[in-house]
Structures are given as C-alpha cells and as structure tokens.
Amino acid sequence: MLLNQLKVFISSTIGKKMVVATTGLLFCLFLLAHLANNFVIYTGAENFNFLVKSLEKIKPLIRLAEVMLVLILGGHIYNSITLALKSKKAKGIANQSKIDVANASLSSRTMVFTGSILFIFLTVHLSTFWYTFQTSGRHDYYFMVTSESFGFGNILITSLYLVAMIILGFHLRHGFQSAIKTLGIGNTALGKLLSLLSVIFWLFVPAGFFSIAFWFGIVKHFGLV
Amino acid sequence: MSNKLNLTLKVWRQESSDSHGDFVDYSMEGVNPHMSFLELLDVLNERLITEGMDPIAFEHDCREGICGSCAMSINGEAHGPVKSTTACQLHMFHFNDGDTITVEPWRAKSFPVIKDLAVDRSAFDRIIQSGGYVSVNTGSAPDGNAIPIDKETATMAFDAAACIGCGACVSSCKNSSASLFVSAKISQFSKLPQGQPEQKQRVLSMVAQMDKEGFGHCTNTGACEATCPKDISMDNISTMNKEYLKAILS
Amino acid sequence: MKLDAKIPSGDLSNKWVDYRSSLPLVSPANKQRQDVIIVGTGLAGASAAASMAEMGYNVKAFCFQDSPRRAHSIAAQGGINAAKNYQNDGDSVYRLFYDTIKGGDYRSREANVYRLAEVSGNIIDQCVAQGVPFAREYGGTLDNRSFGGVQVSRTFYARGQTGQQLLLGAYSALSRQISLGKVEMYTKHEMVDLVLIDGHAKGIIARNLVNGNIEKYAANAVVLATGGYGNVYYLSTNAMGSNVTASWKAHKKGAMFSNPCFTQIHPTCIPVSGEYQSKLTLMSESLRNDGRIWVSSKKGDKRHPSEIPESERDYYLERRYPAFGNLVPRDIASRAAKERCDAGFGAGETGQSVYLDFEDAINSMGKDTVAARYGNLFDMYAKITDENPYKTPMRIYPAVHYTMGGLWVDYNLMTTIPGLFAIGECNFSDHGANRLGASALMQGLADGYFVLPYTIGTYLSNEINKDKVTNSDSAFKDAEKEVSNKIDSYLTNDGKRTVESLHKDLGQIMWNHCGMSRNKKDLSKALNEIKELKNTFWSDVKVPGKKDTLNAELEKADRVADFIELGDLMIRDALDRNESCGAHFREEYQTDDGEAMRDDKNFSYVSTWENKGDKAEPILHKEKLLFDTVTPTQRSYK
C-alpha cells in the first residue's frame, strides 16, 4: 500500500518536483556546514590544517555523509532533467513571438542552465581540492587551497570559483523560494519565515564562498594588501 | 475624438492539427480604437470572405470575459498586453498607430491546434471529470445554512473558483504546466467543508490526469499568474502541492 | 388542435407536491434501458443531464461550444432568487410566486410559476452542497441582497459572477456523470435537425463542427435546453453563438412556439460605439440604486457632460416616475431612454445613449463607498470605453437581453411533439411578458434539477415496452440527407453577401420595428422587409470554406437562416397582440401619459404558433390563461 503510494508519488510531476525541492534544500544545509568549515581558513593555516586533519579522524562518518550527498545530488539532477525533458515535450511548438512575461524572473527561467554550469564547477572542484586532499598524502591543506596551481594560486581556478558562486546565488535565488512553494508550505507561517530566511542561502552562503576565493585568489595573490 | 489606427497583423494560419502552420501578414487600415481585438478579427474576416479567402478561425463566445472561449497570444502574451483582461475585452486603444501585432494560438502539446487560432482544450474537461466535483446527488442536499462557512473562507474559495478555464496559464508557462488551472479547483474544494470527504481521492486523481494529459511541471516561475485574466493566485499551486503530499502520506 | 397544459387539479399550493407523488415511476432496471438526448449544457441542460444520469438514465449531452462549461448561463451576473426567507423579512413561496407573476404582467401560468417558487429553495441547497461559493455573512450564513425593485432580500449571489459559479456547479455534477459513464458528452456538436418516428421525437441529427460529419443519434426522448434567441436582433447581450436553431428545427417539425415577441430589453448596457460592434455588454442594474439617469434638456447637445449645468439636465425618470424614479422596472426604464434619444436628446457622438451619473452618490457617500459597491462594474466600464466613470458620467443604452418566449410546453415541460421536452430559457413557461431580475438562473436550475427529471417519467414510463429505436431507421437517413443537401447548398450558392451582413440587416429590421416599442404600421412594413431579406439570403448568401473542417461561417449561415424565419414569426406575434404588456409595448395601446395599457379581456392568453411549412402562414392557437389565485392588476410606478 505505502509502496504503491510511493510509486505514484515518484512518478508524478509534483512528486518529482518535491524530490528536486527536498534534495535542493538538503544540499543548502550541507553548503551551510561546508561554509562554516571554510571560514576557519581566515583564522590561519594552523587552525585550518588542524580542522581538516580532525575530519580525517571521523572518516567513516564523512564517507557516509558523502554517499548521502551523492544520492541527494543524484536525485536532484535526475529528476530535474526528467522534468525538463517532459516540459520540453509538453510545449511542442514554442511561442513564436517574443515572450515578455513580467512575473517570470530570469533566474526562474534559467534553472537548468545554471544547474548545468554548477555541475561542471562541481566536477572541477572535486577533482582538484577533494581528490588531492584524499590522495596526495600531504597535510598542508591551507597552502594547497591558497597557493597551489590547482587552488587559488591559479587565477583561472579563482575566476571559475568566483563566477560559479555568482551562478550559485542565482540558482538558489529562485531555487530556495521555489522549493518552499513546491513543498506546499508557501502559504503557511513556516513558509513565510523560510522565505525571509532564504536570503541567507542565496546571498550570504554564496557570498561567503566567494569571499574566500576573492581574498586568497585575488587580494592576497596579487598582494593588494 | 479618436484617431484611427493603421496596423499590421501577423496571424498564425494552420489548416488543421496535422498540417504545417505559418504567419500571414494582413494590413488593416482605419481601425477604430474602440473596437475590441476580436472585432478587429471580425472586420478582417469580413474582408477575407469578400475577397474569396478563408476567414481566420478563432474561438469566442460571450465576449464579456467570462466564458473562457477566446484564446490567443497577442505579441507573445496570452490574451495580450493588458493585465486581468481576456482577448475579447482587449480594446484597440491599447495599441499605437503603425504597430505590428503578432497573433498565435495557445502553445502546448496538450492543446492541439484545430484550425488557425482554435485549439482543442478538452484535456481540461477530462481533468475536471477525473475528480473536480463534490459527489452529491440532486435532492440529497441539506439546508443551505446547515453548513456555515466563514466569510473569509468563502471569499478565498471564490477567488479560486473564478477560473474561466481558458488555458492562458498553460500557454504562458514555459513548461506548459496546467498547475494553475488544476490547483484552482483543488484549492476551492480544499477550503470548503463540502470538499473534505473526497479531498484525498480528488487531488490524487486530478494530478494523475493532469500528468496523463501530458502537461509539464510547475517551476514556480509565475508566468501563469501574470497572464491569468482572472488573477488566480499561484498560492493555489502551493495548496495543491500540500494537499497532494497529505494525500500521499495518509 | 387543443392545447392541453395538463395542469393538475387541486389547490395551487399543493398541486406540485401531490402531482409529483402521483407521477408514474420508471424502475431502476428500466431507466438503464432508456436513452435521453439533452441538447445544450447551460444551467438547465447540465443540471438535467446530471440529475437524470444520477437517476439511472443513459444521457447523451450535446453542446456547440468546446466545453459544456462555456454555455452562456456563465455570463449571468446578478444572482438567483429563492424563497428561503433567511433574512426574516417576510418572504415566502407565495410572495416569490406573486412577484414573478405580477412582474410578468400576468401573461404566465399560475401553476408553473408557483412550482418555480416552490422548488427555488432546493436549488440553493443543492448548489451549496456542490461547493458553489455563495456570498456569506460574517456569521457564516448565506448572504442575500435585494434585486430588481422587490421589497424583500431573496437574491443569493457570488460576487458579480453568480451565473458562472452556478454553471460550474452544474458542470461539475455533469462531469462526474461523464466520468461514471452515465453521460456521453458531445462537445462541438450542433443539433441541426430533430428526428420524428410516428410523430414522436426519437433522436437528432448533429453536425460535428470540427470535422463536419453529419451524425445520427437516437433516443427514447429528446430534451432541448438551448437558451434564448436574443441574437435575432444581431446586437444583444447574448453570446455570439447563442441561437434559435435547435428550437426552430423542432418548431418546423411540429413543436409550437409561444409568445415569440416577448423580448426583454435591459436598460443598463454599454452603448454601441461603431459599425463594427459585435455584441453588447450588460452592466448590473444594481447601478441604478445609486446612479441618476439624465440627458440634456437641449436637443442635439454635443457639450461634454461636465459642461452641462444642473439647470439644463433632465432627470427624466425622476420627472416621470416620482415614486420609483431611477428604480422603475427594466421595460419602463428602457423605453424612457429610447424615447429621449429618439426625440433627439441623446448623449454622446451617436446620440444613442443617456448618462448614468454617480456624482451625487460620490459627493454624499464618498468615493470609497461607491467604489466598494460598484468598483468592479466601474472597472469593466473603463476597460471597454477608456473613460473614467468616477469623473465622467457613464453612458448607457438599453440592449436585448432575454427572451421570455419559446417553445410551448405543458406542465410536464413537454412540447406539442410527444417525447420532446424544452427546459430553461428555450421554453416560454414562467416569465410571462417580462422577467424579473435574478429569475432566469432560478428557472433554468428548477427545470433541470427538480422538475424535468420527475415529469419526464410521464412520457418515458410509456416507452418501456416499445421497441428500441436505433439510428438506422429511415427517418434518420432522410433527415441526414436533407441536412447534407442544405449544407451543400450554402457552400455552392454563388452569392455576394456575407452571413454577417445579412444578420446585421435582420437586426436592423427587428430592432427598428419590433424592438422596445412597436406599432402596426412599422410591424407590417417589417413583415415585408423580412420577406425580402429571406429572398436575398437564399439567393445571395456567400459561405466560404469547406464542409469538413471547422467553418464558423457555415455554422452561422444555418443559424441566421433560422433567425430570419423566427423574425417573421415575432413580427406576426407582435401584430396580433393589440395591447401593451410587459416587454411588449404597442404604441397604439398606451395611456395619455405614455404608460402601457394591458387588455386582459381580449389578450389574456399564450399566443402559440403552429408552423405550416415555408409556403403557408403560421396558425395561431390560444391557450387561455386562468387566474384562480391572483387577480391581475395594472402595474403603476408613478
């Protein structure tokens, strides 16, 4: 019975969209935790290296979290793409004259595009920091992040990070609000509160990541202070 | 008191659902700014008939903005540029002399073109048939005042019930989603006590039928709400989603 | 032929209850074997289809629109009357009955009207149960307003969209039966002929408007719920597609047509703005509660209304009817406006409008109060005219709105053709010579929900033992062939006149000579003009396009052909009725100060016309109206 209901749910457009919304929100929570860790980098090499090393000590837990993140992201991407393909099919011939719809913001109309850019960014991000952290055997994490050629020592990488964070903000600008509506709590007090808090996720979180890339990759790198 | 307009109309002409369509230009001179957009098409059609050409097919009936028959995108916007207005109540004084106006049918796979600007919207009827009602047989109703409903609730239910089923929301939506239409009906009944007993089955059936008809999903972009001639709110979609989740979990 | 209205005997207040209990029943098993065709899905058609399907009949429903929800009932604004007495203001079934029969100027049947008032309460209950969002009081009970000058508040409403909400209620009930398989719904199908077998209605020929197929449908009974024929005037508040074709085909097959000349003209519509005008838009007559109607007291005054000083304004309704002023009934307000405009005092570029002014209302109760009461109507006016009614007085003019006449029916709502029923606006039964505000919705739903589903049993109970009719009968083939030939003849006619232009000509004749006021000379002239128009139509009509695709011109051609014949009958009816009653005003029959003079001695009857084919003139039959309970009195609004 319940399994049946679940099947109905996951094959419906609303169900799929709710999966996209939930996974998106969960990923936002992860970003918040990620950023909190990253901010330690401002306190100097010692603290940062210590933090990363201590994470090593709870490796099984981290691995479990990583698996969950992959599932969350997988669910997010898979359902987003399925829905996008379905809606493309639903449209058939598009409107032939210019669409000038006041209410539909640019960010809301470009979710698949911004999502794809973020996916490319993620691959680069994982193949540099994450992969090296795991495999290099080095423990000078602070140096790797701030000065190596696969980190903010490379202006190209820095630029990618800066652009990606702006795009992340853009993606979450619509994504977070939309998720609240999709989950059906848009009209409730909780939904309205979350809407107010959404600025944390679309502005402060991306801005936090941005600041690190900017501080180490631009300001420090070029010796501006 | 009013200046006549000279306009160029680019109208989508399509013989039938399986034939190829394209825009055809018509120049219109001396248009009285007080005529409605559909009257403009009437005048053009009279001309086409006398010239021995096939008049433009378009749906229309009440011409008071309530039956929901008229359906066309004007310069890319469902029902044209004026907010809260159907094409039949759009008057030409909103346009300027020398304008070129593009007119095309609703764009959605689930609304196949019948001819020119007329599309088949029977998908909407099938969605209502799947559960957009309260099952109450004639003669079995209790006294009207036996079910008190507070004024605010009645007002909210009315706001949702004001939908005219024209399909503008589907055409405006980049995903051709019918969410605004479906949610307006679900939301009306979800607010009223009369709708409660069947609420779960209603939302499950109507959503399933909406998907089956091939409409896309809602990405909360809000184009539907912006072009809805009856100002149906997107809050209804949130309500539908909540009711759907409730129905799945119960 | 004697017209037997089959009014049950007994005391007026018990007739319906007693009769209903004595009606023959059709057993559930037998109902499942009975097919009923219902044409039209407005309030009457949709409610009848749903109710009868619930009872077990197999229903086939037809509408020419692309969805049953688009029938023109949807456009009704004001509300629906019901004798609930929720406001404790002394309302009762009797009072609603009395107001309706008096409002109809004593030209309707007591028994039918009483039944209408009797079932009115059930309608509200039914609609509420369906989830119709009627206006409510803060305490949660249903709200009422007073409407159309009656002294009690018995009108239920859902903002200015009561018709829409009621129709969507009936449509939802219909949709439920479609999903249960008890109703087969045929949208975009127009009834183009009625099929009789042994003199009984046993099916219809319908044209599929999308692919042009001529289709044959058989049933045990046929119900017409096809609305009014106001579009005979070309310009009216009816929908563009509203037509008389189904009723007219039935008329030509033997169903008699009653009181065709009784046409209601609504006083508060937005005036015609030009040649291209395709329809007229009504604004709720509640505007007359606070607006003052006037014209300039100078002929041909082209000044802007703000430049016309108070001393030069003629508040003609207040002048002529000091007791009721701007609130006189619809027919009186309409005629008074026409009188002023015809005399050359009309406002606006065309001189065919009068001012409806809210300046005094705004000054005395404030703009906000006026906006709260009439805001949506003001917005609608501004949307259409591009003028701001808060600053400049509105301009209004009367427009054709509702037709009281229609197919003659007996108490069971059966026409003179056995097995053919007519419900809602397309029958003549309940409104006499003039309909009261908020009563059209009431009648449509009364017929569909609470009358026909019972009374149709009187006919169907006798059909159980007869052989099942199928559409392979030769009568169907003949009718199909006739329809098909007619369609070909439209398309091959090598004419020059568009259907629209001929329809406009018809409208001109009808409006000028058989409109708000009529006289023998003009009517006789019009009869000739119609004859000429009919000839022009058949010799010179030009119908473009093909028969096997969507072809609006072809649809219109057949409708206009029928309207022309109806126009002829309306004029004959108006000529016959040598009295002024309700909406029918004959200039020869008025008092010295221009008020209507009814003649109960000679005209207390329902004019019922029998069609004798294209070559012969129609024959008038009279159904005498008997008043046992009420005594006809002269209306006075002085």
Percent of chain C with pLDDT over 90: 90
Structure confidence at residue C467 (pLDDT)? 85
Q: Smallest Cβ distance to A87: which of B10, B175, B222? A: B175
Domain boundary among C355, C383, C400: C400
C127 contact residues in B (CB cutoff 8 A) = 144
Q: How far apart are the two ends of chain B, measured CA to CA in Å?
A: 64
Residue C541 domain flag? yes
Together in a domain, B31 and B75: yes
Residue B185 to residue B240: CA distance in whole angstroms: 9
- pLDDT tens-digit series, residues C295-327: 999 999 999 999 999 999 999 999 999 988 998
Note which residues in 37-76 of chain B have CB less than 8 A from chain A.
73, 75-76
Residue B55 to residue B60: CA distance in whole angstroms: 14
- pLDDT tens-digit series, residues A151-203: 999 999 999 999 999 999 999 999 999 999 999 998 899 999 999 999 999 99
- Residue C464 reports pLDDT greater than 70: yes
- Residue C201 reports pLDDT greater than 60: yes
Domain boundary among B115, B144, B179: B115
Query: What is the maximal distance between C-alpha atoms in chain A?
Result: 65
- Residue C59 reports pLDDT greater than 90: yes
Strands (E), chain B: 5-13, 22-31, 73-74, 77-78, 100-104, 113-115, 118-119
- Domain ranges across chain A: 12-91+107-220
Any C CB within 8 A of B231 CB = no
Neighbouring subunits of C (3+ Cβ pairs under 8 A): B
Residue B64 to residue C272: CA distance in whole angstroms: 15
- Residue C265 reports pLDDT greater than 50: yes
Together in a domain, B101 and B127: no
Total domains in chain B come to 2
- One-letter identity of residue C466: K
Together in a domain, B44 and B84: yes
Neighbouring subunits of A (3+ Cβ pairs under 8 A): B
Structure confidence at residue C595 (pLDDT)? 86
The number of C-beta contacts closer than 8 angstroms across A and B is: 157
Structure confidence at residue A102 (pLDDT)? 53
Please tell me the least confidently modeled range out of B216-225, C141-150, C218-227, C251-260: C141-150
Cα dist from C130 to B134, B162, C177, whole Å: 5, 15, 14
Which H or E element spans position C607? strand C605-610
- One-letter identity of residue C89: D
CB within 8 Å of C542: residues ≥ 6 apart: B49, B50, C493, C494, C495, C496, C497, C498, C499
Region C370-380 average pLDDT: 87
Together in a domain, B142 and B242: yes
- Residue C151 reports pLDDT greater than 90: no
Together in a domain, B16 and B109: yes
Q: At what angle do helices A2-11 and A13-39 cross, to 10 degrees?
A: 80
Alpha helix (H) residue ranges in B56-178 = 122-129, 151-161, 168-172
- C537 lies in which domain range? 474-624
Which CATH number is B36's domain given? 3.10.20.30
Total domains in chain C come to 2
Together in a domain, C392 and C480: no
Of B54, B62, B89, B201, which to mutate for an interface test with C (greatest number of C Cβ within 10 Å)? B62
Strands (E), C96-182: 155-156
Per-residue model confidence as pLDDT tens for chain A (225 residues): 788 889 999 999 999 999 999 999 999 999 999 999 999 999 999 999 999 999 988 999 999 999 999 999 999 999 999 999 999 999 988 888 766 555 678 888 899 999 999 999 999 999 999 998 888 888 899 999 999 999 999 999 999 999 999 999 999 999 999 999 999 998 899 999 999 999 999 999 999 999 999 999 999 999 998
Residue C78 to residue C438: CA distance in whole angstroms: 6
Together in a domain, B139 and B106: no
Any A CB within 8 A of B225 CB = yes
List, by residue number, the catalytic residues of C.
330
- B189 lies in which domain range? 122-249
Region B15-32 average pLDDT: 95
ipTM of the complex: 0.98
Structure confidence at residue A101 (pLDDT)? 57
Q: Is the dihedral of CA A60, A64, A67, A69 positive or negative?
A: negative
Region C442-470 average pLDDT: 95
Residue A59 to residue A40: CA distance in whole angstroms: 20
- pLDDT tens-digit series, residues C530-546: 999 999 999 999 999 99
Structure confidence at residue B1 (pLDDT)? 44
**Do B and A make contact, counting contact as 3+ CB pairs within 8 angstroms?**
yes
Residue C246 domain flag? no
Q: Are C228 and C245 in contact (CB under 8 A)?
A: no
pTM confidence score: 0.96
Closest CA to C4 of C256, C252, C226, C260: C256
Domain boundary among C400, C418, C451: C400
